[in-house]
């Protein structure tokens, strides 16, 4: 391993990436119309006409047992101000019958975010932030035991939880720490809801189980995700594959801990749509740094995997991959643990509608400006 999470966080301290200390926000507790410090007051505020709801940074609010909606409102705390970690919102709910998985894979989450809304400067913790089946990776949930596949799937579903479900374009999530969500910290849209919110300056981590665990899962729409740090996930950014599903990902850092590739787009065939190999619309990945070459099991791991054909195009430019590349990267397609930075699955050995330019490979930091995220990471063996 070339980095530790602590080393990366130290490099980011005082910088914009991941928010917190060093992030200059345009919104603070002084802008709040009301200050709340417990769940009843927060629930009342959600159900009111108050525009800006503030939560002091030393406040912890347990949201367990219910779900909520933030609509045409702003929720703010003070993460990064004078060393504050920001107010903590959390749930212990999980599984099919809980408010954290209400409606299943196409259902709600603990908080539905609608209308012209923003969440800024808080910590948002899911039910598996301290699950220690693996001491090195809190929150990691390995494959469950069971006699049959169905039994194992049932055991996995019992862990599922979703933090935020965004259902409108005019939504902003910034300067937040999101962790401990074994399915999704943030879900974007649905099969019939196409939305394009803005997510930036977040720290998403410890959302990792076998076959699931995403910080941002795009069911439909095209969010912009930027200036963020992701670590210890199955996929940090994932897409469902609908023909209007994509994302723009810029100036982000990934790693060093991952169960699988960090950036993903499924094809529809993998999600129950027959043999349809459509894998999203347009995905743009620019100026990102991928700080890993192996997964937590020690196997080779790619940084990016797209699993079919885009309706429009994939663009990957000016990124730094730690993978050592000699010459042109060949598409290993359906081959698994190959030591390459990216692959395109289900399409044969050629690249299809995927444009690469200006990327840097290997452990040595890029010498060119504007390549990789603005993080000044120093690699050590």
User: What is the per-residue pLDDT across 258-274, written as a single tens digit (0 to 9) for each?
Assistant: 999 999 999 999 999 99
According to the model, what pLDDT value does residue 101 have?
A: 92
Domain spans in the chain, listed from the N-terminal domain onward = 5-361
Pick the CATH number of 5-361 from 1.10.3210, 1.10.3470, 2.160.20, 3.90.1720: 2.160.20
DSSP SS3 for 122:
coil
pTM: 0.96
Taking the alpha carbons at both ends of the chain, their separation in whole angstroms is 7
How far apart are alpha carbons 306 and 109 in whole angstroms? 26
* Tens-place pLDDT, residues 285-340: 999 999 999 999 999 999 999 999 999 999 999 999 999 998 899 999 999 899 99
Mean pLDDT to the nearest integer, 77-87: 97
User: Rounded to the nearest 5°, which phi and psi values hold at 83?
Assistant: 80, 5
**Whether residue 138 has pLDDT greater than 90:** no
For residue 153, what pLDDT band results from cuts at 50, 70 and 90? confident
H or E element that contains 42: helix 39-46
Mean pLDDT to the nearest integer, 97-125: 92
According to the model, what pLDDT value does residue 211 have?
A: 82
For residue 8, what pLDDT band results from cuts at 50, 70 and 90? very high
Mean pLDDT to the nearest integer, 218-230: 98
How far apart are alpha carbons 69 and 112 in whole angstroms? 5
**Whether residue 66 has pLDDT greater than 60:** yes
* Tens-place pLDDT, residues 190-205: 999 999 999 999 999 9
């Amino acid at each position: 391993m070339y980095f530790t999470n602590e080393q990366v966080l130290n490099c980011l301290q005082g910088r914009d990436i991941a928010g917190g200390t060093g992030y200059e926000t345009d919104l603070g507790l002084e802008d709040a119309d009301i200050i709340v410090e417990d769940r009843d007051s927060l629930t009342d505020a959600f159900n009111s006409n108050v525009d800006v709801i503030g939560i002091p940074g030393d406040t912890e609010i347990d949201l367990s047992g219910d779900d909520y909606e933030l609509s045409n409102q702003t929720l703010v705390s003070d993460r990064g101000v004078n060393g504050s970690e920001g107010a903590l919102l959390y749930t212990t709910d999980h599984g099919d019958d809980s408010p954290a998985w209400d409606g299943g894979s196409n259902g709600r989450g603990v908080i539905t975010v609608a209308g012209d809304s923003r969440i800024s400067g808080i910590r948002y913790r899911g039910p598996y932030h301290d699950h220690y089946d693996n001491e090195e990776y809190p929150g990691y949930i390995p494959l469950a035991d069971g006699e049959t596949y169905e039994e194992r799937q049932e055991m996995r579903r019992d862990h599922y939880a979703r933090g935020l479900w965004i259902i409108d374009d005019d939504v902003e999530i910034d300067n937040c720490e999101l962790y401990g969500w074994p399915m999704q910290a943030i879900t974007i849209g649905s099969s019939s809801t196409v939305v394009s919110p803005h997510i930036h300056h977040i720290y998403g981590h410890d959302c990792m189980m076998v076959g699931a665990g995403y910080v941002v899962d795009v069911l439909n729409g095209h969010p912009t995700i930027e200036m963020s740090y992701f670590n210890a996930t199955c996929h940090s950014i994932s897409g469902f594959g609908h023909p209007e599903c994509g994302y723009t990902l810029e100036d982000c850092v990934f790693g060093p801990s991952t169960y699988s590739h960090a950036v993903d787009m499924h094809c529809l065939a993998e999600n129950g749509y027959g043999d349809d190999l459509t894998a999203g619309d347009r995905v743009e990945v620019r100026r990102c740094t991928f700080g890993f070459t192996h997964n937590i099991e020690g196997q080779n791991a790619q940084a990016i995997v797209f699993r079919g054909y885009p309706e429009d195009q994939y663009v990957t430019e000016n990124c730094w991959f730690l993978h050592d590349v000699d010459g042109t990267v060949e598409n290993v397609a359906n081959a698994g643990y190959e030591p390459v930075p990216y692959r395109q699955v289900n399409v044969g050995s050629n690249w299809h509608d995927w444009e690469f330019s200006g990327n840097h490979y290997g452990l040595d930091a890029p010498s060119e400006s504007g390549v990789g995220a603005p993080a000044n990471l120093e690699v050590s063996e």
